[in-house]
Structure 1
Amino acid sequence: MRRPILTAGRPEPLGASLDATGANFAVFSHHASAIELCLFSPDGAREIARLPLPERTGAIWHGHVKGLKAGALYGFRAHGVWAPDQGHRFNPAKLLLDPYARGYAGVFDPLSPLLFGHDPAKGDAIASPTDSAPALPKCVLTAAPPPVPAKERPRTPWERTVFYEAHPKGLTMRHPGVPEALRGTYEALGCPAILDHLRDLGVTAVELLPVHALMDDDRLLRMGLSNYWGYNTIGFFAPEQRYFGPNGAKGLRETIRALHGAGIEVILDVVYNHTAEGDQRGPTLSFRGLDNASYYRLQQGGARRYVNDTGCGNTLNTGHPFVLRMVLDSLRWWVQAYGVDGFRFDLATALAREEHGFDCHGGFLDALRQDPVLAEVKLIAEPWDIGPGGYRLGGFPAPFAEWNDAFRDAARKFWRREPHAAQGLAERLLGSAGLFDGAGRRAWSSV
């Protein structure tokens, strides 16, 4: 292969974007000293070019590769200091996923020691010199699909919305009305048997458990298990491949369109509070290697360790403007490219916590509420996490709805025939006014 022609390119948009002459690459890193773009053979087995991105505009590194086509495989390497005590974990031996990648080729090997920026047997004082590329999927250069027309959306009013929470695989895996070859795939969710089932139940919106690209936890794999539920995201723009049917990512878009045709909205359960990289003992897959000190909340006075308000080892730093931007860009991507009708935010308190604590008027919530694209979709908060002051039921601003665990508890007490349970359930059935009747919030704020 001839050495690719690399020019300055543009700092916008972030990620990899195709144009008439090739592909532009732009990636954020405030603390890196250099970023390299790595191109791979079509099978992902060989690194065929390593190109230092030639320009930096602010904190965005960028470059344009002439002649590159859709389907090309790539990744990044980031140079900088290895200083965990200062929060920096740069290691150019580790291939890194593009945070804005729309798809991956290959699968993770979570049990491989190659994925770690350090030697797991020796701690994180010294960076590992071993290339991680053989154990990491490669990003796929992908053309953006045409936006989903707004007229295709059911736009069911909140007061008429009936949610059905469903696992993208579990809902169809054993359904006799779904062709066996499609069971457990995105396409299966749009089969007539599933659509009829949902309509017969009176469902107006399917809330899918996480469909963002994920990695199985090494702990589970060592036990012979896998991460079935999917709350271990590594890619916020790419659909998880384990649910792919014959049409891959296109199959998910087609299924959402079929659900819309049946008058059913699609809500995604999204996990922007942490990533699959875990704590300081975890692998280096993307964010940690690109700019650990920016992407994650680190402990004050001990930047080697992560704030763990999620119980999953790390907490994304949505207080950083570029991390917040990534989340917003991801949300808009799923609305515009896939036609998603809303989002349920896992551990939403972690997203709304500022340095001084939870803030219902903080940057994350304000950014979502002022965004013209996201203003058109349903927003639902899971109003708790394990951090300080983490239980915030009733504390999110309009237009957010909230998962109401008080309703769940009241329903349980009623079915158990506990004393005075009917009174408590009546309050919840009427919308939990004591929690939500303020600041213009409606009864449907209680989910």
Structure 2
Amino acid sequence: MSSPELGAKIGPNGTSFAVRAPKARAVWLCLFDGEVERRIAMSRDGAIWRTEVPGAGEDTRYGYRAEGEPPHDVSKLLVDPYATALDQPFVYDPRLAERGVDTAALVPKAVVSASTEAAFAPPVFRHGGLIYEVNVRGFTMRHPDVPEHQRGTIAALAHPAVIAHLTKLGVDAVELMPVVAWIDERHLGQHGLANAWGYNPVVPMALDPRFAPGGVAELRETVAALRTHGIGVILDLVFNHTGESDEVGPTLSLRGLDEAAYARGSDGTLINDAGTGNTLDFAQAAVRELTLATMRHFVAACGVDGFRFDLATVMARGPGFSPDAPIFAEIAADPLLADRVLVAEPWDIGPGGYQLGAFPSDWLEWNDRFRDDVRRFWRGDGSNGALATRLAGSSDIFGDHATRSVNFVAAHDGFTLADTVAHAERHNHANGENNRDGHAHEVSWNNGAEGACDDASVTERRHADQRALLATLFASRGTIMLTAGDEFGRSQAGNNNAYAQDNALTWLDWCGRDRQLEDFVAELAHQRRTASALFDPAIRHDAVWRWLDGGEMTQGDWDGSAGFEMQVGDLVVRVDRSARSVSISGARYGGNE
């Protein structure tokens, strides 16, 4: 296990620095005063290199250089993997990947910061609630009530107008898409594009200065403000890869310090289970400790409720997936982390990478089968049986004891809700990859391509489909997730992989939003809160299923697609496909109005 003293720690006489570089021949701490660099040789302590600098305190800017066999390259200034603050964002430059080219002027410097702790409290969010997925930058870049200097930042989430919107929707937790420092993929610059999602991180604890100019304090204060309104914060973390990419990618941090952090095949080539050029190796104790340290940092310093893990299957690989992977037990045994909300995206692109339902019993999991089965039902090629199973908690996936499903009908990745019912095919040409990127066979449809009398009827049919999808989501048992903007009809013009569109395509249009749809979602949220059976994760075996005419359904009746009625105790959910409506305990939502 790596030393818990890694990173920069302020003491009574100065700051101690410790970094892991097990195969380096020599390591230097590099201190910066403006552009002037001072190098201090570090002492080896096993795999760890250490030094203490008297008089160094808060705001000291630093990096490391390591000498040894390739990929060690002393010309590369390396960012501390345990850094908690940076002086500027990462900016891609081809010289970052060129051996022998000094990069001190090209990479951010880590900034020594004093340890701070938030008031420790149990999570606000509980299973069964509404998670609201937020792209921090795109969420408020066009919000007219947020001051211009604050738009696109974490602090903007605490603005009264934003909180009013969240409370109107009954949001129980905001899930922030990655907010730690990332670097653009190297091909984006030539197309004039920039990463809009942040799923290409370099160091896991340092907030990106573009999102948090106020540093850790900005996130801590925003978390506190949201908690006063009963809204928790879940951070989306990326531990499947880093922005150093493949063999010809930039050398920024781990590659130049501890390349064993990246998984390799028997022939020495990088494993690419994340589809991004490299994969972190969770068989290595040092990788798991960096992960745990990151989680502890955001709980202790910011008070977050929990974490969503991107391509989480990677975390349980060594190299094959195991439901008994060490990281699960280590999180569960940690007193700071044991009660946090843990959400897995339960797949990656590696062999056996789809592991929906295989994570620990206290983890929630994104359920893409809910998304696809609900979409197919309303598209017209799904079945009563598949929809009923998803509404009832997906016992076929999570067993017959309790559901751990995070139900959603759209997410950041894929078509928006509005685009799902308006586009049968992706339209990703703006991404510069000849429309080859993104999911080629997403469950979607163009409601209006045939049989529409006029533009008004096309619009209404699409609105009816959106309402049906949303009502089904809010009528489902388990935790539910709504992506910001889908409650008021956000569109990306059919782009189902808009990760590179940091522009008006992905920035929410608050002035042009569909307020009727927004009010519809708010009413759904209110109705859901009155139906306690929807929050209860226990799989109910006493459910009664009926045809729409009231007749009780039998086991052989599930192949149809007209709809059905489900009764669980006092809760009655009625789904009518021809009417495009869903009723929750008598309250009808949607329909061909």
TM-score range relative to shorter protein: 0.7 to 0.9
| SS of residue matched to 1:330 | helix
Q: How does 1:2-401 map to 2 (within 5 A)?
A: 12-41=4-33, 43=34, 45-47=35-37, 49-54=38-43, 56-82=44-70, 89-113=71-95, 115-116=96-97, 119=98, 128-145=99-116, 147-151=117-121, 153=122, 155-159=124-128, 161-245=129-213, 247-292=214-259, 294-301=260-267, 303=268, 305-355=269-319, 357-401=320-364
Q: What is the CA-CA distance between 1:154 and the residue it aligns to?
A: 5.0
CA distance, structure 2, for counterparts of residue 444 and residue 279 of structure 1: 35
What is the alpha-carbon distance in structure 1 between the residues aligned to residue 348 and residue 91 of structure 2? Answer: 29
Q: Name the CA shift for 1:154/1:288 in 2 (closer, same or farther; >3 Å).
A: closer
- Partners of 1:154 and 1:434 lie apart in 2 by 29
Question: Shift of the alpha carbon at 1:180?
Answer: 2.5
Greater Rg over alpha carbons, structure: 2
Secondary structure at the residue paired with 1:402? strand
Amino acid at match of 1:132: T
* Cα displacement (A) at 1:314: 0.1
Shift, 1:443, TM fit: 1.7
- C-alpha deviations, 1:321-352, integer Å up to 9, x for none? 11110111001111111111111110011111
Counterpart CA distance in 2 for 1:255 and 1:12 is: 28
Change (3 A) 1:111 1:375: same
Q: Quick one: which amino acid aligns to residue 65 of structure 2?
A: R
Q: Which has the higher strand share?
A: 1
1-structure distance, mates of 2:101, 2:36:
15
Separation in 1 of the partners of 2:89 and 2:147?
26
In the TM superposition, what is the alpha-carbon distance from 1:177 to its structure 2 partner?
A: 2.4
TM-score using structure 2 length: 0.66
Map Cα deviations across residues 395-423 of structure 1 (whole Å, 9 max, x no partner).
11111110000000011012212252x33
Moved more, 200-209 or 30-39: 30-39
Q: 1-side partners of 2:83 and 2:375: how far apart?
A: 43
**SS across alignment from 1:104:** coil
Does the residue aligned with 2:136 lie in a helix, a strand or coil? coil
Conservation of the 8 A alpha-carbon contact between 1:403 and 1:446: yes
Name the counterpart of 1:415: 378
Other-structure match for 2:395: 433
Instruction: Give secondary structure in 2 for the equivalent of 1:213.
Output: coil
CA distance in 2, matches of 1:236, 1:359: 24
Q: What's the CA shift string for 1:97-132, capped at 9, x where partnerless?
A: 00001111134331241x12xx4xxxxxxxx22211
* Matched positions, count: 406
Q: Which moved more, 1:93-102 or 1:359-368?
A: 359-368
Task: Tell me which amino acid in the other structure corresponds to 1:334.
Answer: F
Residue 234 of structure 2 aligns to a residue whose secondary structure is: strand
Letter in 2 for 1:22: G
Distance 2:193 2:4 in 1: 41
The answer on whether the counterparts of 1:319 and 1:364 sit within 8 Å (CA) in structure 2 is no
Deviation of the 1:424 alpha carbon: 1.4
With 170-179 and 311-320 compared, the bigger mean Cα shift is at 170-179
User: Separation in 1 of the partners of 2:351 and 2:94?
Assistant: 35
The whole-number CA distance in structure 2 between the counterparts of 1:336 and 1:308 is: 32
Post-superposition offset of 1:157: 2.4
Q: Which amino acid aligns with 1:443?
A: T
Structure 1 gap ranges (5+): 1-10, 83-88, 120-127
Q: Specify every segment of 5 or more residues in structure 2 that has no aligned partner in the other structure, as ranges.
A: 408-593
Given that residues 166 and 207 in structure 1 are in contact (C-alpha distance below 8 angstroms), is that contact kept between their aligned partners in structure 2?
yes
Q: Is the 8 A contact 1:265 1:341 kept in 2?
A: yes
Amino acid at match of 1:15: G
**Equivalent residue letter for 2:13:** T
The 8 Å contact of residues 201 and 243 in structure 2, kept in 1 or not, is answered as yes
Instruction: Provide the rounded CA distance (Å) in 2 between the counterparts of 1:50 and 1:108.
Output: 22
- CA distance 1:168–1:276, change in 2 (3 Å): same
Cα deviation code 1:234-256 (max 9, x no counterpart): 011111111135x3432222111
Letter in 1 for 2:250: P
Cα distance change on mapping 1:307 and 1:404 into 2, 3 Å: same
Query: Runs of 4+ in structure 1 displaced over 6 angstroms?
Result: none
CA contact (8 A) 2:398 2:404 kept: no
* Matched residue SS, 2:148: coil
Query: By how many angstroms is 1:394 displaced?
Result: 0.7
Contact 2:89 2:210 in 1 (8 A): no
Counterpart CA distance in 1 for 2:60 and 2:23 is 28
Deviation at 1:229, TM superposition (A): 0.6
Letter in 2 for 1:278: S
CA contact (8 A) 1:154 1:260 kept: no
* Residue identity (%): 44
Q: Measure, in 1, the Cα distance between the counterparts of 2:110 and 2:91.
A: 15
What is residue 125 of structure 1 aligned with on the other side? none
3-state SS in 1 of match to 2:243? coil
Q: Deviations over 1:210-236 (max 9, x none)?
A: 011111122111110000011000011
Shift, 1:181, TM fit? 2.4
Q: What is the CA deviation profile of residues 135-181 of structure 1, one whole-angstrom value per residue up to 9, with x for unaligned ones?
A: 11111111111x21223x5533213x110001111111222222222
Partners of 2:15 and 2:45 in 1: how far apart? Answer: 18
